[in-house]
Structure 1
Amino acid sequence: MAQHAPMVELAHAAKRLVAVGDYGTILLSDDSGRSWRQARSVATDTMLTAVAFTGPEIGWAAGHGGVILKTVNGGETWTLAHRAAPDMVLMSLAFETPERGIAVGAYGAALRTEDGGATWQAVPLGTGEDADRHLNHVAVSAGGTLLVAAEVGTIFRSADGGRSWSTVTLPIKGSVWRILGLGDGSLLATAMGGRLFRSRDDGMTWTALQSPTTQSLSGAVQLADGRVVVVGLAGTVLTGQGDGSGFSALTQPDRVNISSTLAVGESEVVLAGLNGITRLNLKNRTP
């Protein structure tokens, strides 16, 4: 039944797929998401909301209770690497290099490592009202810039490895949920209310895109054929052109919230959400 537990985030570990979610559940798939099995041991039973790999064997997961887990065997077993404040909720993590990574979460929580996860230090991203924004997602652009999607239309940006941060504010009051780097070097941001934005200058300025939905959009991925897939609440799945334009919408029959998506093959995606893990074939879907 673990495959049907609420799942939050997905990552590639070379050819393996790894999913994390509620109750400390971590699932592994070695056949592009057709079948899943549980990790042999996980050093927490709290909700996990983030997962990232720096190679086929070394990976990281984070979540509620300020926990950061590490695997050295492709996700088979997970040990506790760091525990921050018990009331800290970590929402996302990313690594620029195997040594340098950042985890972000609620109320401005941000932890930085520069020694491959051996130690983690709190770092401030904003000041004043921006200091305690919920930090929903962290991404690394093709140019190496760190970008953090936050609430109240806020995006934090660092071009020097997290040593200093600037604030970009989008013309919305709701949260920015995810930032995706596209194949042409531009960036796509997804937000509350079905809002979509694109940046062509590494996150310094953003332009609003046409969106066919008002559902909040929480996950995004680019397929091998160049199309962009965006997922969100109420079973929403958008497909668009490789430049982030021309989106059209479909709705999954169960209308269950989808939190994340990962590409498998030319035209299929794996979806993580309240009903666990499902696969979706977009071969005949346009654009």
Structure 2
Amino acid sequence: MSSKSCLCAGMLALLAAAVPLVQAAGALPAALQRPALAVARPTAAHLLAIARAGERLVAVGERGLVIYTDDAGRHWTQAKVPVSVSLTAVRFANGREGWAVGNMGAVLRTTDGGASWTRVFDGLRAAALAEEAARQAWDAVKPDPAQAEHPLNLLLQDAQRFVDEGADKPFLDIGLRADGSVLVVGAYGLAFSSSDGGASWQAQMRHLPNPEGGTYYGIAERQHEQFLFGEQGLLLRAAGQGMPDAAAFAAQASPAKGSLFGALPLQGGALVLFGLRGKVLRSARPGAPWQEVATPVDASLLAGLQLPDDTVLLLGAAGQVVASRDQGQTFAALPMNTRFPFTGAALAPDGGLLITGTRGLLRLSPAELSRALAPQGARASFTKTAQP
């Protein structure tokens, strides 16, 4: 939230639709109270993320749109959602319990595999909690107000600004812990956790070493390491058994100058970070240094997944897909007929590939995916999914 922070405008524009800059103080925005409207062609809408929930797949996008499929992406159903803000990320702990986050600090929870959702947190509550936590920390020390750069003075100023600006900041990712607790992170260094299914929340900004208030674009976990990553190469790391408390994270020397938009832990123990202008960084094992990996693209990479045969796919903002068959050490471009900004990808239960993007949802059948990955394969052609 610091005024020194500079958001990657292009990335946030892609991940979340515009939100009001001015709203009545203390008033919950209408978009956080208004249910998502029924969409005639939901698979053609702007979709921002997709995740597996057991055998089901769930995709989220603009204006509170959530859709799910139980037949590997051939037919889709629109879910019941209590908000109409754009949703930027979705994750499931199992086939029934899942979370989604989005604009205006919206946090949603489902216990029926994504068919219906409940709002459990929002930007106004987040702002109030941030100010309360900052005030308590300030009162415990009472630093000299003349020390403008004192961390607690800056924390309090940022929290008060957060309250004044209202619910206008998005959350961008969710971390799920084995004990059922969650961590949500987003713009201007916002970070909140809940250990009781979203009934209560705790502000974590004070405990994270991010004095400039850089945006967190994501959360990643590899064996006994956890990472927060984001704007201008921001990278925080914690090590140890289980998901750590926020205070366990330490700032890392940034392996990148540009923003990091995604991370992918691989089966062999490597971790791949990717982001601005096709940048890819790889750490071979926990604690290993980062090495830059060349890619044949110069547009931002936003999403990735590893296939059952260990092939790694990274997808980007210009509709590009790059593949690696050596655990992320080298990448080659896949020839694509269909190109528009891709935002997410997931493997369907039948082995097909589903991709979300600004023009909706595309499905690659198992046979089409196999041909696309063949060394001399023909240009990949996606199949539009059936409309519900």
Is 1:229 the counterpart of 2:269? The answer is no
Larger radius of gyration between Structure 1 and Structure 2 = 2
Report if aligned partners of 1:217, 1:232 keep a CA contact under 8 Å in 2.
Answer: yes
How far apart, in 1, do the equivalents of 2:374 and 2:261 lie?
A: 25
Classify 1:47/1:98 alpha carbon distance in 2 versus 1 (closer, same or farther; 3 Å).
Answer: farther
Superposition deviation, residue 234 in structure 1? 1.3
2:153 counterpart residue number: none
- Cα deviations by residue, 1:16-36 (Å, 9 ceiling, x for unpaired): 000000010001011112221
Is 1:17 the counterpart of 2:57? The answer is yes
1:276 counterpart residue number: 360
Is 1:157 the counterpart of 2:237? The answer is yes
Is 1:146 the counterpart of 2:226? The answer is yes
Is 1:103 the counterpart of 2:216? The answer is no
Superposition deviation, residue 206 in structure 1? 1.1
1:202 counterpart residue number: 286
Unaligned runs of 5+ in 2: 1-40, 125-166, 376-388
- Cα deviations by residue, 1:32-56 (Å, 9 ceiling, x for unpaired): 12221111x1010000001111111
Any residues of structure 2 matched to 1:76-225 within 5 Å, and which?
A: 76-85=115-124, 86-124=167-205, 125-129=208-212, 132-143=213-224, 145-159=225-239, 160-202=244-286, 205-225=289-309
Unaligned runs of 5+ in 1: none
Q: Say which structure, 1 or 2, has more relative contact order (CA 8 Å, 6+ apart).
A: 2
Is 1:75 the counterpart of 2:140? The answer is no
Task: Find the residue that maps to 2:343 and give its secondary structure.
Answer: strand
Report if aligned partners of 2:55, 2:349 keep a CA contact under 8 Å in 1.
Answer: no
Structure having the higher strand fraction is 1
How far apart, in 2, do the equivalents of 1:51 and 1:190 lie?
A: 19
How far apart, in 2, do the equivalents of 1:203 and 1:235 lie?
A: 33
Structure having the higher helix fraction is 2
How far apart, in 2, do the equivalents of 1:202 and 1:163 lie?
A: 20
Classify 1:282/1:245 alpha carbon distance in 2 versus 1 (closer, same or farther; 3 Å).
Answer: farther
Classify 1:73/1:182 alpha carbon distance in 2 versus 1 (closer, same or farther; 3 Å).
Answer: same
Report percent identity of matched pairs.
32
The letter of the residue matching 1:44 is: V
- Cα deviations by residue, 1:66-101 (Å, 9 ceiling, x for unpaired): 111111111111111111331221011120225221
Superposition deviation, residue 169 in structure 1? 3.5
The letter of the residue matching 1:152 is: Q
2:45 counterpart residue number: 5
Report if aligned partners of 1:96, 1:140 keep a CA contact under 8 Å in 2.
Answer: no
Query: Which 4+ runs in 1 deviate beyond 6 A?
Result: none
Report if aligned partners of 1:146, 1:162 keep a CA contact under 8 Å in 2.
Answer: no
How far apart, in 2, do the equivalents of 1:267 and 1:48 lie?
A: 26
How far apart, in 1, do the equivalents of 2:101 and 2:245 lie?
A: 20
Report if aligned partners of 2:123, 2:169 keep a CA contact under 8 Å in 1.
Answer: yes
Superposition deviation, residue 122 in structure 1? 1.5
Report if aligned partners of 1:225, 1:267 keep a CA contact under 8 Å in 2.
Answer: no
The letter of the residue matching 2:320 is: T
Task: Find the residue that maps to 2:180 and give its secondary structure.
Answer: coil
